[in-house]
A = this chain, B = another copy of it.
């Protein structure tokens, strides 16, 4: 995933690792899955060894220097390959951490479990708010002209958050009913 994002950005124009960081922060990507600093530089170094990118130039600013990376022909091919795979592979990913917690929910007291799940609801609500304001900002920035695919992605994110919310609510209801049944 990191590689797709990094190569995809370099395919637009040569830039430095730091530039990529900024691009990802501004773009949608920041919302749906942070590619972290270390991963970017790691990917750049790795892909340089593999000949997918090269250092185009090194800009000096006093004692500080930054490397501008450029995608190679091999890199462009690899990118198209990676995009194909990303579209083709199954995109379901279950919230396995939550599931594993639920599997062993009896290891904590019902009260603690309920508190925790309610805290999660709050976290989900926050996520939803962040999505909404993010979308609104984008809408304004693009003068009500959000690309349809971006719109689809946002809708999918909304749907995922809502589904998780409903799930947690049901889990809470279940726990409460089990608690009163004794």
The chain A residues found within 8 Å of chain B, CB to CB, are: 1, 4-5, 8, 11, 27-29, 32-33, 79-80, 82-105, 107-108, 112-113, 116-117, 119-120, 123-124, 126-127, 148-149, 152-153, 155-157, 159-161, 163-164, 166-168, 170-171, 174
Provide 8 A-B residue pairs closer than 8 Å at the C-beta atoms, listed in order of the A residue.
A33-B99, A83-B101, A84-B108, A86-B101, A86-B102, A87-B98, A90-B123, A90-B124
Note all chain B residues with C-beta closer than 8 A to A82: 101
Which of A86, A116, A157 is most buried by chain B, counting CB atoms within 10 A of its CB?
A: A86
Note all chain B residues with C-beta closer than 8 A to A93: 33, 93, 95
Note all chain B residues with C-beta closer than 8 A to A153: 99, 102
Majority-rule SS of A interface residues: helix
Contact B83 A105 (CB under 8 A): yes
Which of A94, A113, A120, A127 is most buried by chain B, counting CB atoms within 10 A of its CB?
A: A94
| Selected contact of A104 from candidates B33, B83, B119, B152, CB within 8 Å | B83
Docked Cα-Cα span, A99 to B107, in Å, equals 36
Query: Shortest distance in angstroms between A100's beta carbon and chain B's nearest beta carbon?
Result: 4
Query: Shortest distance in angstroms between A30's beta carbon and chain B's nearest beta carbon?
Result: 11
A91-B164, A120-B91, A164-B92 as given contacts; A32 in contact with B99, CB under 8 Å: yes
Note all chain B residues with C-beta closer than 8 A to A112: 84
A84-B116, A163-B159, A167-B152 as given contacts; A98 in contact with B91, CB under 8 Å: yes
Note all chain B residues with C-beta closer than 8 A to A96: 1, 29, 32-33
